[in-house]
């Protein structure tokens, strides 16, 4: 993933409606949490108990923190949904952070579908954002070129000792643009394979032999079976920005080389930058999507929906969806959907610069407390208690320990009913400090390291494109992509008709200029010994 990920609609946007909803959610979550603890007698630490027992009033909490002279760190990130117990977990985190760094955190999940509009408005209105998620696949270079992130070299040196001790220097430098670090990389897997995740019960019911699925088109007969026998269930759940087409082209077959047109083909030894939309691979996958769309395999609203794929599976409306995979992802998908899932890999693991930068946090120009923000970030790499609070919530309410680093849902709670389910440990800090679930391989982190080592490496691994000289052309091409991509990605229109028009408009928007600039920078990087 990227994981990820699938995101909410308007909740947590930071607007007045989102704040009003959060107040109501906070009150019910606090009362419900207190009743659960009182009724079942689960043990909590003193700080956790205090937060659960005390009714939550967000505005009163903010005023109290101001009166106490506490800095509030606003942390913005994408999330699949806003967990109803988010305010409860935030309270527990803040009681801890007050003692550790004399500050509190304001967690602001935002849906990816509305990410650019909402964060754009936050920057335009100079709204406070201290820590903000970014990634190579989320226009990182473009955001830096716009001046939205500040250089972190000095802050990392002064307040990031834990980060520097955890990450290999070469990984830290993956966040560099123009010799400055703007994003701190999460410590996790640095490779991915592409494939599909599907309901295990239906795989078994219809005898679908996943060992015979070697390429995407091999799923056609399986999807015919689901379409014929399971009315009301979409064989393939997708969105315009998350479909099999995207996963199998972007980084499945190409290294995207950062924002804007211009990619490297994964196969072969060539380092020529090409327009992906003009390649035969792009057309081949587009034709398959068109065929599947006409056969009715996609959810009917694939071109327009912003709803998450795993929520559709959870609701019994979908059989499968495409994903970036890694060891144990089927277990993660089972938690996401609340039912057993199986996965099939369709590409070998592959590492690009975007994979090493697939989860980062930066400090923005709108930050009010950059020093405290870096100290909080550092804790997420070194403090397992704080990290697991953010990842999984409160012990005894949202999970129970079955061993030192293994957890499970409490009695009477499951993935569908748990009050806190961000389910995005890949996003934050040092994932190797995150608890594993009892049904996961206890050696999963060892497998991750092996996965990283064995993955195919991009010819441009370590290359970071600086889009500053072509940012206007990139913005123009993004608008063209926004116009054409939904129909191509979900097979809504005949690719032999729409792709030539897409290419024509990309060129008119400056695609060739971007490709030339990428080629120039890549050639210079290679001449300096890059990739060796």
Assigned domain for 514 exists: no
| Strand 71-78, strand 103-110: pairing | parallel
CATH of the domain at 109: 3.40.190.10
301 falls within a domain:
no
**Residue 301 pLDDT > 70:** yes
For residue 74, give the nearest of 126, 8, 30, 137 by alpha carbon. Answer: 126
| pLDDT tens-digit map of 161-191 | 999 998 888 788 888 888 899 999 999 888 8
222 falls within a domain = no
Q: Is 529 within a domain?
A: no
Which residues lie across from 196 on neighbouring strands?
322, 344
243 band by pLDDT with thresholds 50, 70 and 90: very high
Express as a percent the part of the chain with pLDDT over 90: 66
In this prediction, residue 377 has a pLDDT band, given cuts at 50, 70 and 90, of very high
Range of the domain at 103: 16-180+356-406
Count of domains for the chain? 1
pLDDT beyond 70 at 193:
yes
Q: Residue 340, SS3?
A: coil
Q: Give me the DSSP letters along 363-392.
A: EBTT-S-HHHHHHHHHHHHH-HHHHHHHHH
Helices (H) and strands (E) in the chain, counts: 22, 18
CA distances from 172 to 153, 329, 355, 357, 434 (A): 10, 25, 13, 9, 20
Q: Kindly state whether residue 299 falls inside one of the protein's structural domains.
A: no
Q: What is the pLDDT, as a whole number, of residue 336?
A: 83
Which tens digits make up the pLDDT trace of 394-443?
A: 999 999 999 888 999 999 998 889 999 888 999 999 999 999 998 888 88
**Would 172 be classed as within a structural domain?**
yes
Tell me whether residue 338 is in a domain. Answer: no
How far apart are alpha carbons 419 and 436 in whole angstroms? 18
* Phi, psi angles (nearest 5°) of residue 410: -65, 160
43: confidence class by pLDDT, cuts 50, 70, 90: very low
Give residue-wise pLDDT tens across range 61-98. 665 666 567 999 999 999 877 899 999 999 999 999 99
Q: Is residue 20 part of a domain?
A: yes
């Amino acid at each position: 993933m990227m994981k990820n990920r699938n995101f909410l609609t308007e909740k947590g946007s930071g607007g007045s409606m989102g704040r009003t909803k959060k107040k109501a959610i906070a009150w019910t979550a606090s009362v419900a949490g207190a009743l659960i603890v009182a009724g079942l007698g689960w043990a909590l630490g003193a700080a956790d108990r205090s937060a659960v027992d005390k009714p939550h009033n967000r505005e009163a909490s903010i005023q109290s923190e101001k009166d106490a002279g506490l800095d509030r760190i606003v942390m913005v990130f994408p999330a699949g949904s806003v967990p109803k117990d988010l305010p409860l977990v935030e309270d527990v985190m803040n009681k801890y952070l007050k003692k550790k760094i004399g500050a509190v955190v304001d967690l602001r999940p935002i849906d990816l579908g509305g990410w650019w509009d909402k964060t754009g408005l936050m920057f335009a209105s100079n709204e406070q954002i201290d820590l903000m998620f970014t990634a190579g696949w989320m226009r990182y270079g473009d955001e830096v070129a716009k001046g939205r992130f500040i250089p972190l070299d000095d802050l990392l040196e002064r307040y990031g000792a834990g980060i520097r001790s955890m990450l290999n220097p070469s990984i830290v430098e993956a966040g560099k643009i123009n010799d400055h670090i703007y994003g701190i990389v999460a410590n996790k897997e640095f490779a991915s394979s592409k494939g599909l995740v599907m309901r295990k019960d239906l795989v078994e019911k219809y005898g679908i032999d996943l060992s015979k699925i070697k390429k995407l088109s091999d799923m056609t007969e399986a999807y015919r079976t689901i379409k014929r026998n399971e009315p009301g269930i979409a064989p393939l759940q997708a969105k315009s920005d998350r479909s099999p087409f995207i996963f199998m082209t972007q980084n499945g077959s190409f290294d995207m080389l950062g924002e804007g047109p211009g990619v490297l083909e994964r196969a072969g030894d060539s380092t020529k930058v090409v327009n992906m939309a003009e390649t035969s691979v792009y057309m081949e996958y587009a034709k398959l999507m068109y065929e599947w769309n006409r056969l009715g395999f996609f959810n009917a609203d694939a071109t327009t929906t912003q709803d998450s794929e795993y929520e559709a599976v959870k609701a019994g409306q979908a059989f499968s969806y495409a994903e970036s995979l890694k060891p144990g992802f089927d277990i993660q998908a089972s938690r996401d959907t609340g039912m057993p899932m199986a996965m099939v890999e369709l590409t070998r693991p592959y590492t690009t610069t975007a994979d090493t930068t697939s989860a980062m946090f930066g400090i923005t120009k709108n930050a009010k407390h950059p020093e405290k923000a870096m100290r909080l970030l550092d804790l997420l790499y070194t403090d397992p208690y704080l990290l697991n609070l953010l990842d999984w919530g409160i012990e005894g309410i949202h999970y129970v320990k079955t061993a030192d680093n293994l957890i499970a849902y409490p009695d009477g709670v499951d993935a569908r009913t748990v009050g806190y389910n961000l389910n995005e440990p890949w996003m934050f800090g040092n994932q190797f400090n995150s608890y594993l679930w009892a049904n996961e391989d206890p050696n999963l982190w060892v497998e991750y390291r092996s996965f990283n080592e064995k993955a195919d490496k991009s010819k441009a691994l370590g290359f970071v494109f600086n889009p500053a000289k072509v940012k206007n052309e990139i913005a123009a091409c993004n608008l063209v992509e926004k116009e054409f991509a939904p129909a191509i990605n979900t097979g809504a229109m005949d690719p032999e008709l729409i792709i030539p028009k897409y290419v024509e408009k990309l060129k008119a928007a400056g695609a060739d200029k971007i490709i030339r600039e990428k080629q120039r920078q890549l050639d210079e990087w290679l001449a300096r010994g890059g990739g060796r």
